[in-house]
Amino acid sequence: MASSFLSKLWFWPRFFWRQLTSMRNALILLLLLAVAAVPGSVYPQRSADPNGVKFFYDNEPELAAVLDQLQLFDVYTSVWFSAIYILLFVSLAGCVLPRTKIHFEALRARPVQTPKNLERMPEYLSEAGDSSVLESAMVVLKKRGFRIDRQQESISSEKGYAKETGNLVFHYSLVGVLLAVGFGGGFSFSGQRVLVEGDTFVNNLASYDSFSPGALFNEGQLEPFSLTLDEFDVVYDLANRANIGQPIDFVASVSADFGQTQTTSDIRVNYPLAAPGANVYLTGNGFAPVVTVFDGDGNISYQGPIVFLPQDSNMTSLGVIKAPDALPEQLGIIAFFYPTAEKLTTGAYTSIYPDPISPLMTMNVYTGNLGLDSGIPRNAYALDTTNMEMIAGRDGPVAAIELEVGQSADLPDGLGSVRFDGLLRFASLDVAHNPGGIWVLLFAALSLVSLTMSLMVPRRRVWVRLVPGGKIEFAALSRRDDPNLPQVLEEIVQEIRSGSKK
Partner 1 sequence: MTEVVLNEPLSQVSLLFVSSALAFLALALVLFSFQLVKLSTVEAVSSEAKAASSGSIMVDEKIATDKMTATERAGFILLWVSTAILGVGVVLRGVAAGRVPWANMYEFSISGAFLILLVYLTALKIKDLRFIATFITGFALITVFAAVSLFYVEVQTIMPALQSYWLVIHVVVAIMATGFLAVAAGMHIAYLLKASDRARKLFSHFPELLQLERIAYRFNVVGFVLWSFTLIAGAVWAERAWHRYWGWDTKEVWTFIIWVLYAGYLHAMATRGWNGKRAAWLGLVAFLSVIFNFTIVNLFFKGLHVYSGL
Closer to ligand HEM by Cβ: residue 158 or 421: 158
| Residue from the set 116, 480, 501, 502 that interacts with ligand HEM by CB under 6 A | 480
Lay out the site mask for partner 1 across 193-212 (x = CB under 8 A, - = otherwise): --------------------
**Residues in the chain, how many?**
502
Total interface residues for ligand HEM by CB under 6 A: 16
CB neighbour burial string for 318-347, b if at least 16 within 10 angstroms, e if fewer: ebbbbbeebeebbbbbbbbbbbbbeeeeee
- Compute the least distance from the CB of residue 324 to partner 1, in Å: 35
Query: Should residue 201 be labelled a site residue for ligand HEM when binding is judged by CB under 6 A?
Result: no
Q: 31 by DSSP, 3-state: which?
A: helix
Query: Should residue 106 be labelled a site residue for ligand HEM when binding is judged by CB under 6 A?
Result: no
> Which residues share a beta bridge with 287?
425
Lay out the site mask for ligand HEM across 227-266 (x = CB under 6 A, - = otherwise): ----------------------------------------
Q: Which of residues 23-52 bind ligand HEM (CB under 6 A)?
A: 23, 26, 30
| Residue from the set 32, 73, 81, 91 that interacts with ligand HEM by CB under 6 A | 91
* Contact present, 45 and 104 (Cβ < 8 Å): no
Beta strands 154-159; 189-196: pairing state = unpaired
- Compute the least distance from the CB of residue 48 to ligand HEM, in Å: 23
- Compute the least distance from the CB of residue 448 to partner 1, in Å: 5
Stretch that binds partner 1, among 3-11, 264-272, 306-314, 331-339 (CB under 8 A): 264-272
- Amino acid in position 81: F
- Compute the least distance from the CB of residue 250 to partner 1, in Å: 6
Cα 26 to the chain's mean position, in Å? 26
- Amino acid in position 255: S
- Compute the least distance from the CB of residue 95 to partner 1, in Å: 11
Query: Should residue 180 be labelled a site residue for ligand HEM when binding is judged by CB under 6 A?
Result: no
Question: How many angstroms separate the CA atoms of 387 and 370, rounded?
Answer: 7
Q: Which of residues 7-36 bind partner 1 (CB under 8 A)?
A: 23-24, 26-27, 30-31, 33-34
Lay out the site mask for partner 1 across 136-175 (x = CB under 8 A, - = otherwise): ----------------------------------------
- 383 touches, from ligand HEM, partner 1, none (C-beta below 5 to 8 Å by class): none
CB neighbour burial string for 19-47, b if at least 16 within 10 angstroms, e if fewer: ebbeeebbeebeebeeebeebbeebbbbe
Q: 348 by DSSP, 3-state: which?
A: coil
| Residue from the set 79, 357, 448, 467 that interacts with partner 1 by CB under 8 A | 448
- 92 touches, from ligand HEM, partner 1, none (C-beta below 5 to 8 Å by class): ligand HEM
Q: Which of residues 31-70 bind partner 1 (CB under 8 A)?
A: 31, 33-34, 37-38, 40-42, 44-45, 47-49, 52
- 441 touches, from partner 1, ligand HEM, none (C-beta below 5 to 8 Å by class): partner 1
Cα 103 to the chain's mean position, in Å? 35
Nearest one of 76, 56, 58 to 67, comparing CA atoms: 56
- DSSP letters spanning 89-154: HHHHHHHHHHHHHHHHHHHHSPPPPPPS-GGGSSEEEEEE--HHHHHHHHHHHHHTT-EEEEETTE
CB under 8 Å to 475, separation ≥6 — which residues? Answer: 115, 118, 119, 121, 123, 124, 125, 462, 463, 465, 489
Closer to ligand HEM by Cβ: residue 24 or 501: 24
Stretch that binds partner 1, among 149-157, 314-322, 407-415, 432-440 (CB under 8 A): 432-440
* Contact present, 336 and 361 (Cβ < 8 Å): yes
| Residue from the set 37, 70, 95, 290 that interacts with ligand HEM by CB under 6 A | 95
Query: Should residue 136 be labelled a site residue for ligand HEM when binding is judged by CB under 6 A?
Result: no
Tally helices (H) and strands (E) across the chain: 10, 24
Task: Note the residues at the interface with ligand HEM (CB under 6 A).
Answer: 21, 23, 26, 30, 88, 91-92, 95, 167, 170-171, 174, 451, 454-455, 480
